[in-house]
């Protein structure tokens, strides 16, 4: 039988993909990703013909991997939340419908679309639809208040706001403060608030292909940083300029695969949770989306859905490990293959307790909204190299510099600078902040770190968290990690407070373990026994819980009373 044009093209594509490994670092990255996604064995003329028709006039970019998966495996489960479940084919159809709906609302390449939703299926659809029209997603945390939302709306100036009716009161007040009710079109999930209903906007829209676009803009995201100092900055990443080397290296080391069933429980409006979700979609794996974290509910979900992987912040791991063993025994979590920790420092003791309860499956990465993936540590590193965030992933160059911009000696602490292909393009509308974070092409988010001779990186603190007492630099993270080993302490945070004699002195905020009694003298003596005397806190305050932002970072400004 003579070869058809489609089958010939499929054969050519197979050959090109097989050769891509020899085209340099990014080519190797693509080859690794395709291997984990099992794309090559699945290439067949029929699905490929449908794929080629659907992308004939599409915006090029990484998002096309999802379209390819939807044609190769249309019936495979893609995403489930508490309300709905969609296969890859169904998800692709809804994504295209939303893309057409947004174009109908006037969204052009380069425009911004704000999303203020809890973790839900519609959030994943929105993040997937925007690259298809060259638009940029602006994530707004649903815990923000009207004044904070208004700042983002003014600063980002979105064309459309996709939001949940539950946040209507704050959104209405924010829009009035940010320029009136007509500043952006509202697209509503839920009922009882202003805006075009989500399902009504999709009704009648074509789902077989994305809108035809002339622009080469593959869209991007703007994530507003946590705002631990001053107003939040909008970190903007353009997908067309984002490399894949670190992503592919991480996928390869962890062993991510198309067979993964990934639990999304961290907020999708931050940067890490959607990044891991995107990795899963690229591979053809499936997502289970939860809109809140409850330790026992997580175990029930793992058993019910056969969850194999998840990304969590350390406080979530801490709560899972702290569950009574009799509670853990009620649920089968044997399907769990890997758990990724990040977005906040992972105490060594938390890692030890988690792996004692769930096995050697815990990975830890370091990165930031601005830098993407930088380092990775494996399950064995928590004990072999306590406190490490691992070694640099492929495509990353690291420099640890002193205040004068000189590289420090091995083992010494300095400010960590990163250069890779995942760096943000800029802080949106803030050239001064962008320039201030750069040094010779390397980017810093203000983290202090050291590196050992084997290349393992250890975070010391943030620049603004460092305490100077009696002329000595003290890094709170070291003291906090020591306190986390105390059997009666659940968590702790250290800050510096003014002192007439020493300039600053250390103050500890301690959360005791449930049912435990602890005195300030016990805490101070524990530090005196295990640390140099100048590292012991002079004051101890016991509290019920540390204040945290939604990604798990301790809000030390609140502990300082600011």
Which pLDDT tens digit goes with each residue over 358-402?
A: 999 999 999 988 999 999 999 999 999 999 999 999 999 999 999
88-224 matches 245-464 in fold:
yes
Q: How far is CA 249 from the centre of its chain?
A: 17
Output the six-digit token pair for 331: 């649920």
Q: What is the CATH number of domain 88-224?
A: 3.40.50.980
* In CATH, 466-559 is 3.30.300.30: yes
What per-residue confidence (pLDDT) applies to 40?
Answer: 62
- Measured distance CA(488)–CA(163) in Å, rounded: 43
Residue 219's pLDDT is 87
Instruction: Look up residue 43 and give its DSSP letter.
Output: -
Q: What is the pLDDT of residue 52?
A: 72
Strands 372-377 and 362-368: antiparallel
DSSP string, 97-140: HHHHHHHHTT--TT-EEEEE--SSHHHHHHHHHGGGGT-EEEE-
- Distance between CA atoms of residues 349 and 357, nearest Å: 12
Would you call 462 helix, strand, or coil by DSSP?
strand
Identify the pLDDT of residue 561. 76
414 CB-near residues (< 8 Å, 6+ apart) = 400, 401, 402, 407, 408, 448, 449, 450
Nearest residue to 129 via CA among 191, 206, 183: 206
Q: Tell me the pTM.
A: 0.84
Whole-number Å distance between alpha carbons of 545 and 492: 9
pLDDT confidence of residue 217: 78
Question: What is the spatial distance between Cα 199 and Cα 450, in angstroms, rounded to a whole number?
Answer: 51
Q: Residue 393: what pLDDT?
A: 96
Spans of all domains in the chain: 1-54, 88-224, 245-464, 466-559
Matching residue, tokens 């670092």: 25
Distance between CA atoms of residues 491 and 487, nearest Å: 11
Phi first, then psi, for residue 554 (nearest 5°) are -70, 130
Cross-strand partners of 540: 508
* Predicted pLDDT of residue 460: 84
CA separation (Å) from 224 to 152, 368, 426, 479?
8, 12, 12, 30
Low-confidence ranges of the chain (pLDDT < 70): 1-28, 30-31, 34, 37, 39-41, 43, 180-183, 214, 226-230, 463, 471, 501, 551, 562
Distance CA 390, CA 253 (A): 12
**Domain spanning 245-464: which superfamily?**
ANL, N-terminal domain (3.40.50.12780)
Give SS3 for 475.
coil
Q: Angle at the Cα of 493 (from 489 to 494), degrees rounded to 5?
A: 125
- pLDDT, residue 148, reads 84
Rounded Cα–Cα distance for residues 287 and 273 (Å) = 11
Q: State pLDDT tens for residues 15-52.
A: 555 554 445 566 667 667 767 767 666 767 777 777 77
Q: How far apart are CA 562 and CA 557, in angstroms?
A: 5
Residue 182, pLDDT score: 61
């Amino acid at each position: 039988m003579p070869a058809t044009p489609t089958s010939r093209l499929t054969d050519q594509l197979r050959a090109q993909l097989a050769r891509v490994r020899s085209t340099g670092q990014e080519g190797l990255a693509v080859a690794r990703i395709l291997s984990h996604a099992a794309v090559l064995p699945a290439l067949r003329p029929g699905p490929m013909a449908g794929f080629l028709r659907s992308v004939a006039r599409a915006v090029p970019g990484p998002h096309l991997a999802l379209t390819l998966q939807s044609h190769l495996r249309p019936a495979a489960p893609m995403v489930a939340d508490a309300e709905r479940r969609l296969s890859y084919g169904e998800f692709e159809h809804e994504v295209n419908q939303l893309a057409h709906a947004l174009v109908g609302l006037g969204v052009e390449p380069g425009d911004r679309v704000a999303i203020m939703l809890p973790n839900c299926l519609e959030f994943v659809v929105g993040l997937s639809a925007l690259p298809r029209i060259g638009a940029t997603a602006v994530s707004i945390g649903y815990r923000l208040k009207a004044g904070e939302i208004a700042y983002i709306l003014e600063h980002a100036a979105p064309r459309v706001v996709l939001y949940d009716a539950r946040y209507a009161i704050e959104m209405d007040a924010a829009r009035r403060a940010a320029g009136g009710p007509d500043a952006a079109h509202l697209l509503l999930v839920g009922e009882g608030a202003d805006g075009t209903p989500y399902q009504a906007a999709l009704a009648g829209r074509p789902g077989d292909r994305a809108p035809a676009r002339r622009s080469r803009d593959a869209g991007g995201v703007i994530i507003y940083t946590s705002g631990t100092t001053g107003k939040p900055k909008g970190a903007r990443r353009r997908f067309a300029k984002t490399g894949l080397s670190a992503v592919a290296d991480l996928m390869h080391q962890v062993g991510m695969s198309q067979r993964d069933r990934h639990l999304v429980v961290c907020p999708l409006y931050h940067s890490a949770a959607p990044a891991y979700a995107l990795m899963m979609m690229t591979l053809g794996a499936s997502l289970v989306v939860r809109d809140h974290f409850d330790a026992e509910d997580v175990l029930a979900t793992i058993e019910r859905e056969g969850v194999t992987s998840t990304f969590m912040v350390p406080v979530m791991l801490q709560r899972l490990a702290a569950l009574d063993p009799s509670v853990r025994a009620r649920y089968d979590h044997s399907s769990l293959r890997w758990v990724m920790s990040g977005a906040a420092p992972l105490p060594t003791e938390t890692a030890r307790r988690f792996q004692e309860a769930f096995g050697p499956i815990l990975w830890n990465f370091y990165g930031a909204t601005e830098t993407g993936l930088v380092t990775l540590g494996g399950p064995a590193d928590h004990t072999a190299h306590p406190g490490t965030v691992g070694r640099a992933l492929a495509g990353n160059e690291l420099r640890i510099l002193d205040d004068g911009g000189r590289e420090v000696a091995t083992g010494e602490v300095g400010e960590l600078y990163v250069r890779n292909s995942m760096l943000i393009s800029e802080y949106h509308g803030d050239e001064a902040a962008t320039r201030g974070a750069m040094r010779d092409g390397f980017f810093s988010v203000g983290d202090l770190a050291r590196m050992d001779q084997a290349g393992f990186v250890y975070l010391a603190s943030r620049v603004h968290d460092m305490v100077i007492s009696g002329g000595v630099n003290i890094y709170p993270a070291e003291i906090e990690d020591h306190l986390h080993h105390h059997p009666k302490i659940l968590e702790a945070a250290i800050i510096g407070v003014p002192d007439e004699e020493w300039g600053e002195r250390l103050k500890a905020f301690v959360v005791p373990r449930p049912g435990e009694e602890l005195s300030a003298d016990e805490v101070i003596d524990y530090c005196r026994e295990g640390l140099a005397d100048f590292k012991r806190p002079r004051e101890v305050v016991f509290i019920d819980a540390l204040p945290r932002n939604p990604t798990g970072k301790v809000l030390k400004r609140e502990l300082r009373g600011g």
